[in-house]
Amino acid sequence: MKGIFITVVIALILDIVFKDPGQDYHPVALIGRYIAFIEKKLYPKKPAKKALILCGGLLVGLTLLPVSFIAFIYQHFTQKLPFLFQVVFQGGGLFFAIAPTGLAFSVNTIKNHLKDGNLAEARKSLGMIVSRDTRELPVTEVVRGSLESLAENTGDGVVAPIFWYLIGGLPGVWFYRTVNTLDSMVGYKSERYLYFGRIAAKLDDLLNYLPARITGVLMVLAAFILRYDWKRAIKTWLRDAKKHPSPNGGIPESVLAGSLGVRLGGENIYHGQKSFRAYLGEPLNPLTPEVIDKALKLFWFTVFLMVLLFGGFSTVGGV
């Protein structure tokens, strides 16, 4: 499709203007409810390993096929429209798959609560964007959770969707977004999902492999522009990223930790169970609300650089 760079710009403008358009009927929320419905129907009564993997794979297929088909039909329809309407409608389709402003707004809200001394509200706000238990966290751990969520979602929520839009248009981006939603719902290494969610988790790792590394490079460039410690960012990436349980999530987290001179990782509580995640970075600077300000600047510069990179590829490709 011609004009895909303009489409991305339109999607980002819509995101800045509307932030979060509401969750009840957001496409991702609808996909999530569909996944939950199908899971109930497919989860085997006798959870043997092979049956769990097979049924989990069936869940992935039964979710991806209808979503990808709808995205394909929508894109096919928009391509028959005049150019202006084409990029606007395509931008709308992409807008629902990205969330930079909503993410930045959520993290900034946490920071503001902390600066106002309202730790209880900061914990509640953090609990809306992470799956860990936030009810008893001290200020430093609330800051850490905010930074980790911001770093991870820089790749998952912004760079990866735009990357897959460049590769496969709206079907590509919604294929990715659906896999990402599946992984967030069933991709846990818990007793229930260890095998049932294995295919979803592996597919999410595969689709995020290149975007995560692009995110790391862009974040290092953003750190260089902002005069953060970009050399330490590279060093931390090379040394610590592999310690993360995700083959992709450790890259943006380690780069952010290195560029800000903070240490991420540590003990988290999920559903009453303690879990330790390897440390990333070094505690050269304290985890204060002011660090969130610096992280948000790094985030927005990374988004800006992704748009420039996308524009460059679009120009070279004549699209």
What are the tens digits of pLDDT across the range 43-102? Answer: 998 889 999 999 999 999 999 999 999 999 999 999 999 999 999 999 999 999 998 999
Work out the number of other CB atoms within 10 angstroms of the CB of residue 218. Answer: 25
What is the Cα–Cα distance from 8 to 288, expressed in whole angstroms?
34
Whether pLDDT at 206 is above 60: yes
Work out the number of other CB atoms within 10 angstroms of the CB of residue 238. Answer: 11
Which residue is it, tokens 């979803």? 200
Segment 8-20, tens digit of pLDDT: 999 999 999 987 6
Whether pLDDT at 316 is above 70: no
In this structure, is the dihedral angle defined by the CA atoms of residues 192, 194, 195 and 200, taken in order, positive or negative? positive
What does the pLDDT read at residue 131?
A: 87
Pick the closest to residue 110 from 134, 137, 142 (CA basis): 142
pTM given for the model: 0.93
What is the Cα–Cα distance from 237 to 258, expressed in whole angstroms?
8
What is the Cα–Cα distance from 83 to 34, expressed in whole angstroms?
33
Segment 223-259, tens digit of pLDDT: 999 999 999 999 999 999 999 999 999 999 999 999 9
Cβ(254)–Cβ(281) below 8 Å: yes
Distance of CA 143 to CAs 49, 146, 200, 263, 289, Å? 39, 5, 30, 11, 6
- How many helices, marked H, and strands, marked E, lie in the chain? 12, 2
Output the average pLDDT for the chain.
Answer: 93
More confident residue, 47 or 153: 153
What does the pLDDT read at residue 216?
A: 98
Question: What token pair was written down for 242?
Answer: 């592999």
Segment 162-205, tens digit of pLDDT: 999 999 999 999 999 999 999 999 998 888 999 999 999 999 99
Domain definitions of the chain by residue range: 4-317
Distance of CA 268 to CAs 135, 162, 221, 241, 295, Å? 12, 31, 30, 18, 21
